[in-house]
A = this chain, B = another copy of it.
Amino acid sequence: MRKNDTRTTPLISTLLLGAAVAAAPALSFAGGSGAPSEYIRPMIGTQGEGNVYPGPSAPFGMMQISPDTDKELWATASGYEYSDPTILGFSLTHLSGTGIPDLGDFLFIPQVGAPAFESGTKDKPEEGYQSTYSHENETASAGYYKVTLDKPEVTVELTAGLRAGMLRFTFPASDDASIMTDLAHVLSGGRWKVAQSHVRIEDESTVTGFHIINGWAKERHLFFAARYSRPFDEGVIISKGEPVVYDSHKNYRFRSCKEAAGTDLRFLAKYKTAENETIQVKVAVSTVSAANALENLDSELPHWNFEQVVKETRQRWDRELACIRIDGSQTEKETFYTAMYHAFLTPNTHQDVNGQYRGFDQNIHTVEGANKYTIFSLWDTYRATHPLFALVQAERNSDMINSMLAHYDQSVDHLLPVWELQANETWCMIGYHAVPVIADAYLKGNTGFDPERAYEAIKTTAMNPHYDAVAEYTELGWVPFDQENEAVSKTLEYAYDDFTIAQMAKALGKMDDYAYFMKRAASYKNIYDPETGFMRGRDSDGNWRTPFDPQGFVQGGDFTEGTSWQYSWYVPHDVPGLIELFGGQDAFCKKLDQLFTLNSEENGDPEVDDIYGRIGEYWHGNEPSHHIIYLYSLAGQPWKAQRLLRQVIQTQYGTKPGSLTGNDDCGQMSAWYIFTCLGFYPVAPASDYYVIGAPQMKEIAMNLSNGNRFTMTAHNLSEENMYVQSVKLNGKTWNSTLLPFKELSKGGSLAFEMGPKPSRWGVQP
């Protein structure tokens, strides 16, 4: 039974690694125990482009209770920007690392003095309820967040379990203290709106509510329940800035003050407080109903022990993080375990305690004995996040795939999810990347889903006659730019996706399909322009896009958040074929050299979000570049990969709020980091190999989901010793830059010998 996600201790103990771990059992959580959760730094990535949130969440949890500093700025997609001077309040749900804002449902705001109903501005917080705060008065750790707000002098602490959490407010003495809940709050980026909401004062210490948001998700239904540790002195609903009062005189007919509907609702719990009085609020959400939110709350948080929730959530994190254990410095541990934390936040648990969830068809469905997940940022996460899950989170990965298959079943278009958000399809980004996730999981031995059913969904998706010019792609061999935006990127990503279908077809013995999709997988060749040496748009008649600038970027042009310079490398499934197109290894590597040294500034700043972390024209902050460095390893110049990987690790990751140079994108930036530290990367998920780069930790032990243990050691690794000198796989010399999955999956050891200078290791691929 996974429904309540409570794993037992015996199961966990089998995951613990080696002697160091035996000395620091994951389930104890005294400070300094060395448990991985102690190294989680939720503030990493909260400044700038990372777009993660600092508030607490359980692994893959339903709730992400976190402070919001902004709701209007598109760039502040998670609601929190470390540089912002003020906090609006604390809302219950957040997206982790996306480039588009949404969620931020149900904002809780403590106030002292006459309550404001509007927020004021960052410049003039005194005009509303938002408050300045200092990072000195703010801490964030696994399962816990704390801040003291300047204006109301209220200390706010947050914790979150799987489906329920707690807010603890410590008030000064006041005759006029309050906790307001804003049902109209949503991280809107200035665009989204509340279509409908209602609130009910269920009893003297319980409130439930609901809203539908027309947002990134076009129709998102979310319910909440809140229980207060002290009955309200007064509980008031505010509608459009006016208290809702019992009134049949003024309004002609009776009106209840205990329930209201509208689009601009708040609930105000008013209290007289003593000095340092704490008032706690237990909260839960549900996509199904207020009754389910209450059931989530009452069954997961039957007590008021805030510390116990923190402790249990940290235990959850330790259990999840036990699958990979590193030996490294404090900074490395903080960076690495926080990367794992970010990789294991999303997708989110979708089903309530009773197994119900609101599906893509807006009907209520039930899942039993498994988890239903939501929020699939697949254009990002198919690259490294799901491949990581396939290795160390196989059970969850299978449940995620079953969640995608449920979405497919509920889709009127018979399509697997593209970018799923709380049972909505945002259609964000391109490709059909649920396909490589499923194919990779199947080929990596994840067994928790029906492969035939999954294959049918895959094939139907890839044969859809309407989706993004797939039909034209199938007919012509490329997506014609006169028919479709981002035609080159789509051609390339379809071709890769098709390769993964072919691999799964082959494994299932469907050799006709294998041949068919392998043919489609070679489509990349159709858009390679030998004259310019780049991937280039072609129209329906086969004419090349003219004029053509491989460094040029046009929103809605032939490339997706990038240029031909980046996308021309996107043939992860047939690098030898690409090398051949580019004129052999030397030409290929020379072109790669150019990529990393081009001065993109000269070309002007492309008008595109999400592209940061530049090394020349390589933009690590966005996903199309993520596999590129590893191509050196496949083209006979692995030392260049080794140097660049070190550069990226050192300059684009770290322990500071601004250390993430791009959107974490539901864990993809972090999963790239984890694989890279391990010394290899899934350049082509659903292929049977990983590509060896350069290890970034002295030792990493990985408990694979299949029960085998795999260890990576990097002897002599140091600041200077970034270059691979030699490799042993299970004690035997290993000269290939390919790490076969079949070797990895058996467990064993990968031992690097590192040195300060490039070696000839791996030069002949």
Residue from B214, B254, B257, B556 in contact with A468 in the complex, judged by beta carbons closer than 8 Å:
B254
Residues of B within 8 A of A254 (CB): 418, 427, 467-468
Please tell me the size bucket of the interface on A: 35 or more
- Asked if A93 is an interface residue, CB under 8 A from chain B, the answer is no
Contact yes or no, B198 A219, CB < 8 A? yes
- Asked if A364 is an interface residue, CB under 8 A from chain B, the answer is yes
Residues of B within 8 A of A208 (CB): 361
Contact yes or no, A412 B469, CB < 8 A? no
Contact yes or no, B196 A219, CB < 8 A? yes
Closest B-chain residue to A364, C-beta based?
A: B289
**Which stretch, A245-253, A540-548, A594-602, touches the partner chain B?**
A245-253
- Asked if A169 is an interface residue, CB under 8 A from chain B, the answer is no
List residues 468-484 of chain A with CB under 8 A from any CB of chain B: 468-469, 483-484
Residues of B within 8 A of A261 (CB): 214, 218-219
Residues of B within 8 A of A210 (CB): 362
Residues of B within 8 A of A418 (CB): 254
Residue from B291, B361, B466 in contact with A246 in the complex, judged by beta carbons closer than 8 Å:
B466
List residues 247-272 of chain A with CB under 8 A from any CB of chain B: 248-249, 252-259, 261, 263
Q: Mark A180-210, 1 if CB is under 8 A from B, else 0.
A: 0000000000000001101011100000101
Contact yes or no, A556 B252, CB < 8 A? yes
- Asked if A290 is an interface residue, CB under 8 A from chain B, the answer is yes
Residues of B within 8 A of A257 (CB): 466
- Give Cα A196 to B212, complex, Å: 8
Contact yes or no, A200 B363, CB < 8 A? no
Residues of B within 8 A of A467 (CB): 246, 254
- Asked if A587 is an interface residue, CB under 8 A from chain B, the answer is no
- Give Cα A256 to B198, complex, Å: 30
Closest B-chain residue to A429, C-beta based?
A: B253
- Give Cα A155 to B263, complex, Å: 42
> What is the minimal beta-carbon distance from A334 to any residue of chain B, in angstroms?
37
Residues of B within 8 A of A212 (CB): 195-196, 212
- Give Cα A609 to B218, complex, Å: 41
- Asked if A497 is an interface residue, CB under 8 A from chain B, the answer is no
Contact yes or no, A413 B256, CB < 8 A? yes
Residues of B within 8 A of A290 (CB): 361-363
- Asked if A511 is an interface residue, CB under 8 A from chain B, the answer is no
The A interface is mostly helix, strand or loop, or mixed, namely loop
Q: Mark A390-423, 1 if CB is under 8 A from B, else 0.
A: 0000000000000000000000110000100000
> What is the minimal beta-carbon distance from A292 to any residue of chain B, in angstroms?
8
Residues of B within 8 A of A412 (CB): 200-202, 256, 258-259
Residue from B248, B249, B361, B427 in contact with A253 in the complex, judged by beta carbons closer than 8 Å:
B427
- Give Cα A257 to B162, complex, Å: 36
- Asked if A428 is an interface residue, CB under 8 A from chain B, the answer is yes
Residues of B within 8 A of A469 (CB): 248
Contact yes or no, B428 A253, CB < 8 A? yes
- Give Cα A253 to B100, complex, Å: 14
Residues of B within 8 A of A218 (CB): 261
Residues of B within 8 A of A214 (CB): 196, 261
Residues of B within 8 A of A248 (CB): 427, 468-469, 484-485
- Asked if A425 is an interface residue, CB under 8 A from chain B, the answer is yes
Residues of B within 8 A of A364 (CB): 289, 291, 364
> What is the minimal beta-carbon distance from A462 to any residue of chain B, in angstroms?
15
> What is the minimal beta-carbon distance from A239 to any residue of chain B, in angstroms?
11
- Give Cα A219 to B364, complex, Å: 19
> What is the minimal beta-carbon distance from A244 to any residue of chain B, in angstroms?
12
Q: Mark A266-289, 1 if CB is under 8 A from B, else 0.
A: 000000000000000000000001
Contact yes or no, A256 B425, CB < 8 A? yes
Closest B-chain residue to A212, C-beta based?
A: B196
Closest B-chain residue to A257, C-beta based?
A: B466
- Give Cα A418 to B253, complex, Å: 11
Closest B-chain residue to A223, C-beta based?
A: B362
- Give Cα A466 to B485, complex, Å: 61
Contact yes or no, A249 B413, CB < 8 A? no
> What is the minimal beta-carbon distance from A295 to any residue of chain B, in angstroms?
10
Contact yes or no, B291 A363, CB < 8 A? yes
- Give Cα A451 to B636, complex, Å: 87
> What is the minimal beta-carbon distance from A368 to any residue of chain B, in angstroms?
17
- Give Cα A289 to B426, complex, Å: 22
Residues of B within 8 A of A258 (CB): 412-413
Contact of A361 with B200 at beta-carbon distance under 8 Å, contacts A255-B427, A469-B248 already known = yes
> What is the minimal beta-carbon distance from A408 to any residue of chain B, in angstroms?
14
Contact yes or no, B196 A196, CB < 8 A? yes
Residues of B within 8 A of A426 (CB): 253
> What is the minimal beta-carbon distance from A416 to any residue of chain B, in angstroms?
13
Contact yes or no, B362 A198, CB < 8 A? yes
List residues 663-692 of chain A with CB under 8 A from any CB of chain B: none
- Give Cα A485 to B289, complex, Å: 37
- Give Cα A541 to B362, complex, Å: 56
Residues of B within 8 A of A195 (CB): 195-196, 212, 263
Residue from B249, B256, B259, B425 in contact with A485 in the complex, judged by beta carbons closer than 8 Å:
B249
List residues 48-90 of chain A with CB under 8 A from any CB of chain B: none
- Give Cα A418 to B248, complex, Å: 13
**What are some 11 contacts across the A-B interface (CB < 8 A)?**
A195-B195, A195-B196, A196-B196, A219-B261, A248-B469, A253-B429, A255-B427, A256-B425, A258-B412, A258-B413, A289-B363
Q: Residues on A close to B: CB < 8 A? A: 195-196, 198, 200-202, 208, 210, 212, 214, 218-219, 246, 248-249, 252-259, 261, 263, 289-291, 361-364, 412-413, 418, 425-429, 466-469, 483-485, 556
Nearest 5 A/B pairs, CB to CB:
A258-B412, A291-B363, A195-B196, A219-B261, A254-B427
